[in-house]
A and B are shown apart, each in its own frame.
Chain A
Amino acid sequence: MVKITVNGREVEADPKQPLIAACHGHDVDVPHYCYHPGLSTVGSCRMCQVEVQQGTAPGRVMVACRTYPAEGMVVSTESEKSHATRRECLEFLLKNHPLDCPICDKAGECDLQDFTYQEGQATGRSKEPRRPLEKRHSLGDVIVLDQERCILCSRCVRFFEEVPKKAQLTVASLGSRSVIATFADQPLTGNYQGNIADLCPVGALTLKGFRFQARVWNLVKMASTCAECSRGCSIQVEVLRGGDVKRFRPRENAAVNRWWMCDTGRFAFDHVNAKDRLVNSLVRDGHGLAPRSIEDGIAAVRALLDAHSDALFVASPFCTVEEGASIQALAKRRGTTALFVAPGPNGLKDALLHTGDPCPNRRGLTELGLQPIEPKELAKKLASSKAAVLFGERVVELAGAAAIAALPTSTALAVFDCKAPDAAACTVAIGVPTSVERTGTWINVDGQKGPIAAVKPAPAGVRALARHLAALDLRAEAARS
């Protein structure tokens, strides 16, 4: 570690990390495009110009991403010289940029917009027509490229070379005719394509799925954890105000996913946006499952539990540690052990992030003492049981909707799920919130805690599983009466 002065403040810096990292580490913002902490540095955008003074030599403006801290270095990110150099650089970057911000999906979170605003480059000398290029160049199923907006920072090129380690993109042609391209216009492949849309500092690479879906300033953003696999990547859930989840984006977490996430996780929000939600409760009467109040549903579940002292308790692998603990406590008081549905590997495992295990909280629930059970085993076990209660988000789906539907009516089934089950054995079903509608903790495959956040409210008539469990707690009921 060496001591350097940044904007008059003495700080410690790692001489092996570029100066820009030291600045960012001490909350000093340095505008940049090509630099990304997760990628190699090329120093090509020339935006991160800061004034550096060493010894008695006069200050020189240098790019902070290719300069390394040295003892006694005096760095100014705010000097007039560095601002002037950055403004100059911006003038060049904006020369051919189409400035179509009003219809750009990146507007509001665009580095070109932000740094131009920050540096105050209000006028430009450019009188020439802008470089006409392709506005909608498809790069496969996930990404669309707007060549006009591209500032050729090459982050996307380096991402494929360095993170999934399978080079797919390149800068084609020379000079002002350069464009980002794949070899022979082949579509991008792999499970990590979406990351380049996050990496892109401008609106050149956008997600096909997010194109024209929302203005980003209308998105409510909260830190949460991905439900796709047991890696539990840290993500940011973004919900259009009063509407649907529009994006999952990776959130930097050095211990888990660094800056990345897979596409399977990124686009796994069909379930949380599903419209056919189970609200209040459904209780079976002579004609089938009929809508009832939550209280009626809870009473039916309690009746089921009273009638069958050996009822199986089966949790969803989406249950949080907190929910799992309540289920386990309830099971223990009844003298049984709770199980949780644990489907086997789904074949999506890769060397980077995806573990192939579709149970986000397998480790958390196992540590609580819940027993994992494969869907096939569970179906057999349920068929031979007189009664069972299934708890939690997507429990029926993961246990195998067809297997549950095929259960004989000799098994009395109570279900707490987001979706109404289609099963003859089901006597009562009560709605619960999805993973973007409740709070709690998952524990990932390496033992890292991942918080999940209530980014949007659950539909009316859906209460947290914890409340249902409290209502079911017979001892608590007894104590009250």
Chain B
Amino acid sequence: MKPFPTWLLDRTKNKDSHTLAAYEKAGGYQALATVLKKPMSPADVIQEMKVSELRGRGGAGFPSGMKWSFMPDPAKDPRPRYLAINADESEPGTCKDRVLMEQDPHGLIEGALIACYAIRAQAAYIYVRGEYRKSYDRCQAAIDEARKKGLVGKNVLGTDFSCEVHMHKGAGAYICGEETGLMESLEGKRGHPRPKPPFPAMFGLWGQPTTVNNVETIFNVPFIVTRGGAWHASIGTKGSKGNFLCGISGHVNRPGVYELPFGVTAREIVDEVAGGVWKNRKCKAWFPGGSSCSLVKGEDLDVVLDHDSLKTKGSSLGTAAMIIIDDHTSIARVMEIIARFYDHESCGQCSQCREGTQWLAQIFHRIATGHGLPGDVDALDALAKGMAPGKTICALSDAAAIPALSAVRLFRDELEECVRQKQDPIPYQRVEYAGAH
């Protein structure tokens, strides 16, 4: 792998990187000063974001500059407006935002302030996953520090711009990572996703115009402002610009969160960055971006990891959380665990998702434990097709159906074999994890 410029995780190597002193020493809050004092207009910031071609890092990969420009014109729509930062990182395999929030919370807060300035929001809400206690504490401490320095609150840096940053702790529901579910939860209601339209830019938090961005997306903003959108657009592949945080987990020697440029292949990541598949085994299958995207076969590791290339393998980049599965692993058991997760996390509003996630979990459990019935694999395929795509209010149903469909598509023989033999052909082994670094 060729050497490449990094910026996302650079500061995390500094001592006490989460403090304001360390952040300022590393050049922190310069981007905010540039925006406010140069001054750049909100439209300039959005334009810079558009030039940067940054795409959302929360899974859907929507162009961030365009998302910001959807916010209504404040001259025509004087309602209050908000920025919601999605830090409810709960996609299985994903742990990138956590590193940023724990090690470099000021980077997030600076990005949030600039984003609020660009979309003219009065306040930013950081919705942190409930289990991330350290992230919550570090971000809250950073906000308090920044407030003392006049960076958060009324008249930021002595200018007219005022902006609050609030922390909110989730209660551990996966569905609250869905943007409308997140807003409902922030409002103090059950995290039931709302039907769209209306979209958050018109009807978001408390019915006001709202932009919802992922932590890593917001974290990129100060860099784009200081170094220019064109700089960001010069890195990466067509349609996927900049660096991304890749969380690699599963059967590799060195699991962890790594900063990588778009354009590297999955094989490079597994072999060079993560130290190869453990125990000198082969990769049987892998998820490119969390458990909600299609499985990809082990022999397809040469695919370039970016938004568009993975589509050729029928999958997607998602949150760039690679899960590597070695060839000693039963796909039926992998899918049983994943299906059980979605059954546990479905919010229960839509019929297909509520009943379908449970159903998939039951069938995969049956197959994996040697009680599979004839026709089960076909049933999986038909049921998953009944759940996706776009048949429900939010994408959780799709997220449950897509891996199931890919498992049937790629590993039908293995699943059928499980059913036929009335036992899993790959005997169950207690998995000993190497432990994260």
Q: Mark A267-289, 1 if CB is under 8 A from B, else 0.
A: 00000000000000000000000
Instruction: Write out the residue numbers on chain B whose beta carbons fall within 8 Å of the beta carbon of A66.
Output: 195
Docked complex Cα distance between A175 and B345 (Å): 6
Q: In the bound complex, do residue B190 and residue A178 qualify as a contact, i.e. CB atoms below 8 Å apart?
A: no
- B362 within 8 Å of A by Cβ? yes
Q: In the bound complex, do residue A44 and residue B393 qualify as a contact, i.e. CB atoms below 8 Å apart?
A: yes
CB contact between A175 and one of B346, B382, B386 (< 8 Å): that residue: B346
Known: A66-B195, A125-B379, A152-B348. A91 touches B386 (CB 8 A): yes
Q: In the bound complex, do residue A43 and residue B195 qualify as a contact, i.e. CB atoms below 8 Å apart?
A: yes
- B167 within 8 Å of A by Cβ? no
Docked complex Cα distance between A431 and B356 (Å): 61
**A89 to chain B: closest residue by CB:** B351
The number of residues on chain A lying at the interface, defined by a beta carbon within 8 Å of a beta carbon of chain B, is 31
Q: In the bound complex, do residue B392 and residue A46 qualify as a contact, i.e. CB atoms below 8 Å apart?
A: yes
Instruction: Write out the residue numbers on chain A whose beta carbons fall within 8 Å of the beta carbon of B379.
Output: 125
- B354 within 8 Å of A by Cβ? yes
Q: In the bound complex, do residue B347 and residue A85 qualify as a contact, i.e. CB atoms below 8 Å apart?
A: no
Known: A44-B393, A85-B391, A91-B386. A174 touches B345 (CB 8 A): yes
| Cβ < 8 Å to B, chain A residues 129-157 | 131, 151-152, 154
Q: How far is the CB of A67 from chain B (nearest CB, A)?
A: 10
Q: In the bound complex, do residue B348 and residue A46 qualify as a contact, i.e. CB atoms below 8 Å apart?
A: no
- B173 within 8 Å of A by Cβ? yes
**A44 to chain B: closest residue by CB:** B349
- A47 within 8 Å of B by Cβ? yes
Q: In the bound complex, do residue A95 and residue B347 qualify as a contact, i.e. CB atoms below 8 Å apart?
A: no
CB contact between A92 and one of B173, B356, B393 (< 8 Å): that residue: B356
CB contact between A174 and one of B173, B362, B386 (< 8 Å): that residue: B173
**B383 to chain A: closest residue by CB:** A125
Instruction: Write out the residue numbers on chain B whose beta carbons fall within 8 Å of the beta carbon of A326.
Output: none
| Cβ < 8 Å to B, chain A residues 153-167 | 154
| Cβ < 8 Å to A, chain B residues 325-376 | 343-359, 362, 373, 375
Docked complex Cα distance between A170 and B392 (Å): 21
**A65 to chain B: closest residue by CB:** B195
Q: How far is the CB of A286 from chain B (nearest CB, A)?
A: 74
Instruction: Write out the residue numbers on chain A whose beta carbons fall within 8 Å of the beta carbon of B362.
Output: 128
**Most chain B C-beta atoms within 10 Å of own C-beta, residue among A91, A92, A178:** A92
Instruction: Write out the residue numbers on chain A whose beta carbons fall within 8 Å of the beta carbon of B391.
Output: 46, 85, 88
**A152 to chain B: closest residue by CB:** B348
- A471 within 8 Å of B by Cβ? no
CB contact between A88 and one of B346, B352, B353 (< 8 Å): that residue: B352
Q: How far is the CB of B381 from chain A (nearest CB, A)?
A: 11
Known: A42-B195, A46-B392, A126-B359. A170 touches B348 (CB 8 A): no
Docked complex Cα distance between A177 and B359 (Å): 13
Given A85-B391, A92-B351, A126-B359, 11 more pairs with CB closer than 8 A: A44-B393, A45-B350, A46-B351, A47-B351, A96-B358, A125-B383, A171-B190, A174-B344, A174-B346, A175-B354, A175-B358
Residues of A that sit less than 8 Å from B by CB: 42-47, 66, 85, 88-89, 91-93, 95-96, 125-128, 131, 151-152, 154, 170-171, 173-178
A-B contact pairs, 8 of them (CB 8 A): A44-B350, A46-B350, A46-B351, A125-B375, A127-B373, A171-B348, A174-B345, A175-B346
The 8 closest A-B pairs by CB, nearest first: A175-B346, A178-B348, A176-B358, A92-B355, A88-B386, A44-B349, A43-B195, A95-B355
